[in-house]
Amino acid sequence: MTSSTTARTSSGLLRGTREDGVDRYLGVPYAAAPVGELRFAEPAPAPAWDGVRDATAMGPTAPQTPYGPATAKFVANVIDPGDDYLNVNVWTPADARDRPVLVWVHGGSFAHGSNALDGYDGTAFARDGVVFVSVNYRLASEGFSVLDGAPLNLGLRDVAAALRWVRAEIAAFGGDPRTVTAFGESAGAGALGTLLASPGAAELFDRVILQSGAPGATEPKTAGRVTRKIARTLGIPATRAAFVGTEPVRLLEAEAAVTAGTTPITGGLGFGPAIGDDVVPAAPLEAILAGAGDTIPVVLGWNADEARLWLVPSGLVDRFSRVLFAAVRLRFRVGRRVLRAYRAAHPQAGRGELFGHLATDIVLRLPFHRVADARLERRAAPTYVYEFAWQSPVADLRAAHVMEIGFVFDRLRSPDWTALTGPDAPQRLADEVHAAWVRFASTGDPGWTAWSRERPVNVFDEPVSAVVDAPRDTELASWRKRSHD
């Protein structure tokens, strides 16, 4: 049975819904609509409202282009135009008080995604005693342009503004503002890892979970390549005034043309954070290796077959030519010693599959190992490392990028995830993964051994998960020795 419920924030009264002991408030603004004079500007506080604001339906989503056909077949998205897209959704146990808080930041290459997916429904978290919040933020040109006259990293600034909103307002929903765990996947994890390196990280969250996304940013000249190409395509200068004067739909059309064919694995023009402002004053990974974020407990991990999301649906895994493989080796500086180690570890792998293993390690396992090792050396707050290894039977995707999210949310029956996992994904594993995230948010310990000199990795799999010390360390060690090539 569904009934009404209310919550009072500093901006005004909200009306949500209550069902089966869970309250939900949808489309709640955490910042003012980034339109008009507020377009390509710092996020501004959400204006107050009179009376009771309806919060029973999802709000608008950030302007964006759809995923390409190969990705869209497996990765769900919702695009719902409207101005008030800097919003959050909140699920909370009915009559909650001082409950731990989880804040979700979606992925999508900083160009796609929203908090409106059925697969991101927070009911299971609220059922298990956690207040759950999901965040929208500016994407692509609106969020990550490099423009004369505009702040850098507007999308990151939005995420930070949403986290500050949580600190200030979550008590009204029964959450404890002193126990906030931020978690994200892919670009969402990259955003949070980059904020972990920020000087103000401890003001934003108390714990963080990085799923399949490492901290990273580039110099403005590099980050701005896509902006400059879009500006040339539109015949305008790369300035705030010119971009403010351009209709969002024209920007989206230019983005689609300029970024066609780009993937996180094969490269191309894309969006991401830029170094050089108060949010990202230095290279994030290097800042973390030097001690940034040391007081914050961290969970970080990857999926065993990350790259297959891009290699398999496109067919590239089976048509990886010698020339392309040589170009990839050059781009990622894959020396002879490294290549020998990977070929020995995967003797039956073709060039495309071998590249997939290399890409997963280059993009995720290697930087995450560096982070965990550096934090251990400095005796920082605990670091917990996982690998999601369950292999989906769908389209030979195996443990591809995005595969773990339905398990984390304990929402395997959502059509958003069955396209990836099939209809018979193991509920036992969802129970285990979801419980680990809830436990970390509640206690700071997900339930397995913290990183140590033995390099323990909790491998989530079926029929049983296990902590494995230094899995596949032979391949990783070859990178540490590559200076001898």
Measured in whole angstroms, the distance separating CA 133 from the mean position of its chain's CA atoms is: 14
Q: Let me know if 401 is a catalytic residue.
A: yes
Q: Which residues of 31-42 are buried (b: 16+ CB within 10 A; e: fewer)?
A: bbbbeeebbbbe
Beta strands in 124-229 (DSSP E): 131-135, 175-185, 207-211
Rounded CA gap, 295 and 206, in Å?
Answer: 9
Nearest by Cα to 88 from 34, 169, 21, 204: 169
Rounded CA gap, 377 and 373, in Å?
Answer: 6
Reading the block at residue 452, the tokens are: 């140590």
- The CB-based long-range contact list for 266-271 (8 Å cut-off, 24+ gap) reads 266/310, 266/316, 267/331, 269/225, 269/226, 269/229, 270/109, 270/110, 270/111, 270/226, 271/109, 271/110, 271/111, 271/139, 271/140, 271/141, 271/143, 271/144, 271/223, 271/226
Residue 2, helix vs strand vs coil? strand
Q: Indicate if the alpha-carbon torsion angle 394, 399, 401, 407 is positive or negative.
A: positive
Exposed, middle or buried, 172 (CB in 10 Å: 0-12/13-18/19+)? Answer: middle
Give the torsion through C-alpha atoms of 231, 233, 235, 236, to 10 deg.
-10
Nearest by Cα to 317 from 351, 341, 290, 347: 351
Rounded CA gap, 270 and 223, in Å?
Answer: 8
Exposed, middle or buried, 245 (CB in 10 Å: 0-12/13-18/19+)? Answer: exposed
* Whether 368 contacts 385, CB under 8 Å: yes
Residue 78, helix vs strand vs coil? coil
Q: Which of 169, 185, 255, 306 is catalytic?
A: 306
Q: Let me know if 186 is a catalytic residue.
A: yes
Q: Which of 109, 186, 314, 465 is catalytic?
A: 186
Rounded CA gap, 125 and 439, in Å?
Answer: 11
Radius of gyration of the chain (CA): 22
Strand duo 298-303 + 383-388: pairing: parallel
Rounded CA gap, 271 and 25, in Å?
Answer: 31
- Looking at residue 362, the DSSP 8-state letter turns out to be I
| Lookup result for tokens 């077949």 | 73
Q: Let me know if 369 is a catalytic residue.
A: no
Rounded CA gap, 382 and 456, in Å?
Answer: 12
Catalytic positions = 186, 306, 401
